[in-house]
């Protein structure tokens, strides 16, 4: 029985793009680097903040400067994690329906673990039981380790779970963990990209979630 739903956070449950971009550009300008556009940053997101900064800084930037940029970004973003962030349309009704039907729900993200937990507590405290972010000892997505950690904390198994995300990293994470992956087109990549990257199905609105589960042949609660 499929009774466990594992969600990505950025670009899937929450539109965090502007807050992430503000944090990146704050750090870049402090080091006299050129700011990045929202479209650029949207495609830098997905592999964790270290890779985000690595992609955002100019080519040839020293490791010392990258480390300084990372520290500045973390300082700023930690203080402004929820300035412009909002759940996507339809997400709250979906989470409420999942709770009513008895599903277990977790969030798995490459964002700082403290930020993941803070945002989940702020927006989804009634619906998300487990939140796993970027923390010591757990490799970042697309490694499956965070999935296995969440499943263990939920008391679930791979056979009971499906992964939901907006990027190629999420598709790989789900498949690396032996799960089906539902792609969401409203996030940072889009339908065509997700289909090309091998998502098992792609939805355009949260109201399509349960039909998508059925289309994958997954037994529902």
Catalytic residues: 8
Tokens 């870049």 sit on residue: 28
* C-alpha distances in Å from residue 46, one per residue of 102, 173, 200: 29, 11, 19
The H or E element spanning position 30 is helix 17-30
Closest of 102, 110, 158 to residue 131, by C-alpha: 110
Contact 182, 214 (CB under 8 A): no
Classify 104 as helix, strand or coil: strand
Q: Which two tokens stand for residue 41?
A: 């940053």
State the CB neighbour count (10 A cutoff) for residue 174: 29
Q: Which two tokens stand for residue 108?
A: 């798995």
Contact 180, 218 (CB under 8 A): yes
DSSP state of 128: -
Tokens 């973003």 sit on residue: 77
């Amino acid at each position: 029985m499929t009774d466990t739903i594992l969600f990505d956070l950025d670009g899937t449950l929450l539109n965090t793009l502007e807050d992430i971009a503000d944090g990146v550009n704050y750090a870049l300008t402090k080091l006299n680097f050129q700011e990045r556009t929202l479209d650029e940053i949207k495609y830098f997101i997905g592999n964790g903040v270290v890779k985000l900064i690595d992609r955002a800084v100019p080519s040839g930037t020293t490791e010392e400067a990258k480390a300084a940029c990372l520290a500045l970004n973390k300082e700023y973003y930690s203080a402004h994690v929820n300035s412009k962030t909002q759940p996507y349309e339809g997400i709250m009704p979906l989470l409420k329906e999942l709770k009513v039907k008895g599903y277990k729900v977790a969030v798995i993200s490459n964002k700082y673990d403290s930020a993941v937990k803070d945002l989940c507590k702020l927006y989804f405290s009634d619906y998300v039981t487990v939140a796993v972010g970027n923390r010591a000892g757990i490799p970042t997505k697309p490694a499956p380790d965070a999935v296995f950690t969440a499943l263990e904390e939920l008391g679930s198994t791979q056979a009971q779970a499906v992964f939901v995300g907006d990027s190629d990293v999420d598709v790989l994470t789900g498949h690396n963990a032996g799960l089906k992956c539902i792609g969401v087109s409203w996030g940072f990549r889009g339908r065509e990209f997700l289909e090309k990257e091998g998502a098992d199905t792609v939805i355009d609105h949260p109201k399509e979630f349960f039909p998508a589960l059925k289309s994958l042949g997954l037994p529902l609660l």
